[in-house]
Chain A
Amino acid sequence: MTYTQIAVLSVAIVVVLDLFVFRTRMVARKAFWASYAIIVFFQLITNGMFTGFGIVQYDGAAIIGSTSPTTGPPPMFGDGRIAFAPIEDLLFGFSLILLSISLWVLFGRLGISRTPVSGPPLWRRRVSSRTRD
C-alpha cells in the first residue's frame, strides 16, 4: 500500500474507533474541533520544519506529490504538498491526534485519573466556596 492509501485508511479506522468502538464521539464535539484547529496550525509549522529542512523525506511512489529533492527544500505549496509536507501528513497527524484524545477521554470515562479537572486559567481568580459563604 502507498502512504496515501494507508493515511486514508488510518483516518477511517480511528474515526470508527472514536464513534462506534470507544464511543467517545470526539468528532461530534466542539471541544475536539476547537483543539484540532489549534493543533493543525502548529502541525503545519513543525511539519514544515521536518520536511523543509529535509529531516524527513518522501518517496514519490508512495505519495500524491513527487520524491523529496536531494538538494534544497521541496515545493512549499503544490505538487501534493502543504507547507513543504505531503498532504498525507495531515491525515497521519489527524489519526494520531484523534486517537490520543479519544483514548484520553475513554480512560477518563473508565475512571482512570478522571480528576483533577483542568482550569480555571491563572487569569481567572479562583473564589473558594468558603469565602463566598
Chain B
Amino acid sequence: MLGLPSNLAYVGVLIFVLAGSLWLELVLRTRVFARLPRLLLVLAVVIWPFLLWDAYAIAEGHWFFDTTRITGIYLPAEIPLDELLFFLVIPIASILTIEAVRSVRSWPVGDGSDEEQRQVAQS
C-alpha cells in the first residue's frame, strides 16, 4: 500500500485518521491539546475496557490480524501494539470532532464551559 512496508498497513490507516482530524486543532482552534491533562485522563481511562474486550476477542478468535500488515510488536494477551494505538487515536479524533463542532456551533455539552464557549463565538 503506497510503497510503505506492508507491516505498517495498520499504522498507515491510523495516520490517515490523524491526518483527517489533527488539522482541526489549528483551523477550528479546538484547543484539545491545550487541555492536555483532561485529554490524557480520558485516554488513561478509555483504553482499559477496550483492551480487555480486545484480549477476550483475540483469545476467543472473534477477530484476528494479518501478521504481515501489523507492526509485529505485541502487548500482553497477544494484543498487537497497533490495537493500543487505535484505542488512543480514535478517542483523540472523536474529541477533536466534537470540539470542532462546538467551535462552529457553540451547542452546549454540559462540561461547565458552555457559557465561555458562547462568549468566544460572539466575540
Q: Which residues of A line the B interface, CB within 8 A?
A: 2-3, 6, 10, 24-26, 29-32, 34-35, 38-39, 42, 46, 49-50, 53-59, 62-63, 93, 96-97, 99-101, 103-109, 111-122, 126-129
Contacts and interface: CB of A to CB of B under 8 A. Distances in A.
A57 B93 CA distance: 24
A101 B99 CA distance: 10
B17 to A, nearest CB: 6
Contacts, number: 197
Given A10-B53, A29-B108, A104-B38, A121 B63 contact: no
Interface string B36-67: 11110110011001100100110011111110
Interface in B71-123: 87, 90-91, 93-95, 97-113, 116-117, 120-121, 123
A2 B62 contact: yes
Nearest to A31: B107
A30 B108 CA distance: 8
Given A104-B38, A116-B31, A34 B101 contact: yes
Contact of A100 (B26, B62, B95, B116): B95
Contact of B63 (A46, A49, A57, A116): A57
Interface of B: 1, 9-10, 13, 16-17, 20, 26-32, 34-39, 41-42, 45-46, 49-50, 53, 56-57, 60-66, 69-70, 87, 90-91, 93-95, 97-113, 116-117, 120-121, 123
A113 B63 contact: no
Nearest to A53: B9
A50 to B, nearest CB: 6
A121 B29 contact: yes
Contact of B60 (A46, A55, A62): A62
A121 B28 contact: yes
Contact of A31 (B10, B32, B60, B101): B101
Contacts of A116: 31, 34-35
Given A104-B42, A108-B113, A118-B30, A59 B108 contact: no
19 contacts: A26-B109, A31-B98, A35-B101, A38-B101, A39-B97, A56-B10, A57-B66, A62-B61, A99-B46, A101-B98, A104-B42, A108-B111, A113-B38, A115-B113, A118-B29, A119-B120, A121-B28, A122-B26, A122-B29
